[in-house]
Amino acid sequence: MTRREAGRTTRSTRAMTQAQQNPERARIERYDPASIERGWQARWDELGLHRTDLHDQSKPKFYLLTMYPYPSGDLHIGHWYIKSPTDAIARFKRMHGFNVFFPIGFDAFGLPAENAAIKNRINPRDWTMRNIEHERGQLRSMGATFDWDAEVVTCEPQFYRWNQWFFLQFLKAGLAYRSVSPVDWCPNDGTLAREQVEGTDRHCWRCGAKVEKRDLAQWYLRVTKYADELLDFSGLDWPEPIKVMQTNWIGRSEGGEVEFTTAPSAHHPGGEPIRVFTTRPDTLFGATFMVLAPEHPLVASLTAPERHSEVEAYVARARAATEIERLSTDREKTGVAIGAEAINPVNDERIPIFIADYVLSGYGTGAIMAVPAHDERDFAFAKRFGLPIRRVVAAPGSGATADPGAAAGDELHGAYTAHAEGEVLVNSGPFSGSTAGEGGRAIVAALGERRLGKPAVTYRLRDWLISRQRYWGTPIPIIYCDRCGTVPVPEEELPVRLPDTVDYRGSGVNPLTHDESFVNVACPSCAGPARRETDTMDTFVDSAWYWYRYLSPEKAGAAIDTKLAQAWTPVDQYTGGAEHAVMHLLYAREWTKMLRDCGVLEQDEPFKRLFNQGQILGTDGERMSKSRGNVRDPDDLVRTYGADTVRLFLMFMGPWDQGGPWSESGIGGVHRFLGRVWALALDPHRVEPGDPSAGRLPEGVDAAGAEKAIRRAAHQTLREVTAEYETFRFNTMVAHLMELANTLYRYRGSSVAAGPAWNEAMRLMLLMLAPAAPHITEELWSRRLAAEGSAWASIHAQAWPEVDVTAVVEATREVPVQINGKVRDRVVVPTDVDAATLERLALEAPRIRELLAGRTPDRVIQAGGGRLVNVVVRE
């Protein structure tokens, strides 16, 4: 026992003795979190209570992961909202005998560091490291049981070298590739990351300039390969909304691919195939024009000479327009004819070809057949440009028939897109008259025979663009040589380190591009002069696998200790915000699948169970952010109330998955509750002067009855609270503990106070509260042990208590009696009453007899095995 411990024991023993001898006068010290929390945090650290032996097989493992923070400088109350309940889960699981691994780290690469560096002329690394140091202190002040030995900081070369190594594996496996594509570009600051483009008008976050598109050679990861597999969530216990969002993001769409050909003309020989993707092959006869994306590769060669200037102007305009402008549905359709025609393979009809920005180059084939009668967008375009509209699907009984003249498009006020039962094809040559479903399949089959069409599936999911024109990220390990082309950096030369000195030249341009010592390098293959890739990786790369690195953060020979990964992953429980639904959480799944395909891992999925806590907003209802000035600093709250109160308040506020605007009006109530627990534990005999019934047992209750009631309350609470921890219903968990405290308060100062039942209840109270409020419970636990003369042992190393079912049963219970569904009386009956007796007792209840006034009930219903009786009587 340490000196401090010894001192504490003497003090607390003395306080208790005084209280027992002189209940009227004795005053215990008040609950003062500041004087106990630091001490216990240091003690836990010393003892290594939270260091996990990953090789310990004697206990079942539990990998608990919470999303690591970005070190922006200050954690706000929202971070605590995620982390303190998660820590309670860790402690709860440990008390259940699990070997819990609960690591933490820092998502240390990213834009704010560079932004601050440019503004304040400091190195992004120094800025980041200083913030991390500060946040470590904040996280420790919370009293969380993070295993700091496993900490991972992603901007360290020992971490990011493995990003590079993975990239090289992906390159070998054909999962990484380079391609020219349009990226967001700011005229002042150069290329922007996706998150640097703000607002619906898509402006640069730093200078406010309009962002446009530029073609750049970029590195991609071939994640679309996993589209179908990513749609499979079987075996994952994830929130339904996240699964829905990912499913929509992946956007699988089934249809057919149809090959049109270009018609010969004065400037073009024709015969060039143009493939289109459609989900409505049944409407093929209704195609009256074709639209290509402005970026479609055939646009230049197909455009008629006299149309060139107009087409080029349109393409340039489409390129400059912001994406939102382009994609906005309420904007009027624009486009130009390119002076060429396509031939529809089903009827050899020649239809004009347009380019229009409502057709996207990145989806399907970048070309569509336009069926204005059955597609709203095509309809709007046709109306605008005066193009024919031909109806080819008719609802039964609509009057439209196979007769071509009967269904002129002019009659339509909008596209007919509904799918009515039994709708049939019209104006569709040999397919007219068949139902839409059959006809569609028959059309695809007919085209298939001529090799002009086939069933096809497309996805909205795109490959992952990982190139960022930024300094503060993982350098992409590639060298460009004039003689050898694109050469990967040899694995043994990893890591490609970020240079320590950074010269921003006062602008946002990637400083790596003008760092000669970084850029100039000898080609690994021919030793001639070559240049390094200066792009770095998206920071979502780091978070796509960081939890594997926690298992062996120092390991030098490999990214992941595969043995430990096999034993410890997938993660059993992941907690974090839903804002990462389709970014981080999807990238993480993709990365694990890519690692599996490269033979690094065996598992298919990273996170078995996921929980999304709600988001704490500012008092203004907006997202908390420094720039809005609405962040709440947890340090202040901890100074005022102590970490236990803050932790408990965050759990008590409301359902964990809900969040909402920050309001601390109730925090005093939670603090008061802990003060009451403190008083119950240390001063059970006190008689409050303000309570007329204080110090006496409730009317008509003897000591034995009181003890029984106390035990019942304690064990009932234990039953509820255990279930609530398991299902993360922390708000009602706290409420139940408050109720138990209220119950005990009724017996405070009475003859049963500090008696056997009371002591048992207090023991359970402390154990139940321990995961949520670890400091106060540890303090009271240690005093309790000292008072008993037992050796100290941490409350957090205790086993979770068992419910004594015999304590919970009651001899009698109260049953509400309803007449026609309205409660009119209650009867007290033996717990084991049979249905017939219950009915008789219910009908004999005074109010019931009075209200029935001699009438015979039509029915008597007993609900829930006799928990309620409803007497039905007709008026």
Residues 328-347 that bind RNA (CB under 7 A): 328-329, 331, 333-334
Distances (CA, A) of 420 to 61, 284, 395, 435: 54, 18, 6, 11
814 binds RNA (CB under 7 A): yes
Nearest to 764 by CA among 708, 681, 650: 681
In terms of DSSP bridges, do strands 868-872 and 812-819 run parallel, antiparallel, or are they unpaired? parallel
689 binds RNA (CB under 7 A): yes
User: CB–CB of 378/372 below 8 Å?
Assistant: yes
Q: Tell whether residue 846 is a contact of RNA (CB under 7 A).
A: no
The window from 126-134, 475-483, 598-606, 673-681 that contacts RNA (CB under 7 A) reads 673-681
Q: Please identify, using beta-carbon distances, which residue of 255 and 511 lies nearer to RNA.
A: 255
Between 239 and 801, name the residue whose CB sits nearer to RNA. 239
Using omega within 30 degrees of 0 as the cis cutoff, is the peptide bond preceding 570 cis? yes
Residue 321 CB, shortest distance to RNA, in Å, is 9
Q: Would you count residue 808 as binding RNA (CB under 7 A)?
A: no
**Closest approach of RNA to the CB of residue 252, in Å:** 9
- DSSP letter at 344 equals -
Q: d(Cα 183, Cα 187) in Å, to the nearest integer?
A: 12
Q: How far is the CB of 36 from RNA (least distance, A)?
A: 18
Q: Do residues 714 and 722 lie in contact, with contact meaning Cβ atoms separated by under 8 Å?
A: no
**How far is 586 from 249, CA to CA, in rounded Å?**
10
Verify binding: residue 863, RNA, rule CB under 7 A.
yes
Nearer to RNA, 156 or 323 (CB): 323
Among 306, 403, 411, 579, binds RNA (CB under 7 A): 579
Q: Min. distance of Cβ 318 from RNA in angstroms?
A: 10
Smallest distance from the beta carbon of 247 to RNA, in angstroms?
8
Nearest CB to RNA, comparing residues 134 and 460? 460
Interface region with RNA, contact rule CB under 7 A, candidates 59-67, 96-104, 228-236, 686-694: 686-694
Query: Which amino acid belongs to residue 735?
Result: A
357 binds RNA (CB under 7 A): yes
CA pair distance 497, 480, nearest whole angstrom: 17
Binding of RNA at residue 663 (CB under 7 A)? yes
Beta carbon nearer to RNA, 291 or 571: 291
Long-range CB contact pairs, 778-786, < 8 A, 24+: 778/40, 779/36, 779/40, 780/677, 780/678, 780/681, 780/682, 782/5, 782/8, 783/8, 783/9, 783/12, 783/16, 783/681, 783/682, 784/681, 786/8, 786/9, 786/12, 786/13
Residue 826, interface with RNA (CB under 7 A)? Answer: yes
The 8-class DSSP code of residue 542 comes to G
Q: Under rule CB under 7 A, which residues in 205-244 are in contact with RNA?
A: 240-241, 244
- How many chain residues bind RNA (CB under 7 A)? 91
Lookup: tokens for 325: 């402008």
- Report which of 759, 796, 758, 805 is spatially closest to residue 778, judged by C-alpha positions: 796
Binding RNA by CB under 7 A: which of 512, 670, 674, 714?
Answer: 670
Residues in the chain: 875
Of the pair 461, 601, the CB lying nearest RNA is at: 461
Smallest gap from Cβ 770 to RNA, in A, equals: 18
Q: Is residue 772 a contact point for RNA (CB under 7 A)?
A: no
Show contacts with RNA in window 718-757 (CB under 7 A).
729, 731-732, 734-735, 738-739, 742, 745-746
Q: What is the DSSP letter of 30?
A: P
Of residues 689 and 700, the one with the C-beta less far from RNA: 689
Window 530-549: residues binding RNA (CB under 7 A): none
Of these, 295, 375, 533, 683, which contacts RNA (CB under 7 A)? 375
Return the C-alpha torsion angle 577, 578, 579, 585, nearest 10.
90
Residues 6+ apart with CB under 8 A from 753: 684, 685, 747
Q: Please compute Rg for the chain using Cα positions.
A: 36
Q: Which residues pair with 355 in a beta bridge?
A: 292, 336
Given the complex with RNA, which of 599 and 666 has the nearer CB atom? Answer: 666
Name the minimum Å distance from CB 259 to RNA: 14
Residue 512 CB, shortest distance to RNA, in Å, is 30
Q: Whose Cβ is closer to RNA: residue 360's or residue 564's?
A: 360
Report phi then psi at 160, rounded to 5: -75, -15
Give the nearest distance from C-beta 571 to RNA in angstroms: 23
The reply on whether position 822 binds RNA by CB under 7 A is: yes
Task: Tell me: does residue 849 bind RNA (CB under 7 A).
Answer: no
Q: Dig out the tokens for 462 from the structure.
A: 């795109």
CB 494, min distance to RNA, A: 34
| Among the listed residues 48, 666, 756, 830, the single contact to RNA using CB under 7 A | 666
691 contacts RNA (rule: CB under 7 A)? yes
Which residue, 356 or 551, is less far from RNA as judged by CB?
356
**Closest-CA residue to 182 (of 153, 211, 151):** 211
Q: Are 836 and 829 in contact (CB under 8 A)?
A: no
What is the smallest separation between the CB atom of 297 and RNA, expressed in angstroms?
Answer: 14
Q: Closer CB to RNA, residue 273 or residue 433?
A: 273
Q: Taking the complex as a whole, how short is the minimal distance between the CB of residue 52 and RNA, in angstroms?
A: 32
Shortest distance, position 444 Cβ to RNA, whole Å: 12
**What does the per-residue mask of binding to RNA show for 442-481, with x meaning CB under 7 A?**
----------------x-x---------------------
* Biggest CA pair distance of the chain: 113
Which residues are CB-neighbours of 413 under 8 A, at least 6 positions away?
none
CB of 19 within 8 A of CB of 685?
Answer: yes
Which one, of 488, 581, 591, 584, lies nearest residue 548 by Cα? 591
Question: Site mask, RNA, residues 402-441, x = CB under 7 A?
Answer: ----------------------------------------
Task: Please give the residues from 274 up to 293 whose contact with RNA meets the rule CB under 7 A.
Answer: 276-280, 293
Query: For residue 778, what are its two tokens?
Result: 């540890």
Q: Which is nearer to RNA, 95 or 415 (CB)?
A: 415
User: Is 400:407 a contact under the CB 8 Å cutoff?
Assistant: yes
C-alpha to C-alpha distance for 543 and 560, rounded to whole angstroms:
14
Binding positions for RNA, 634-653, rule CB under 7 A: 652-653
Is 368 a binding residue for RNA by CB under 7 A? The answer is yes
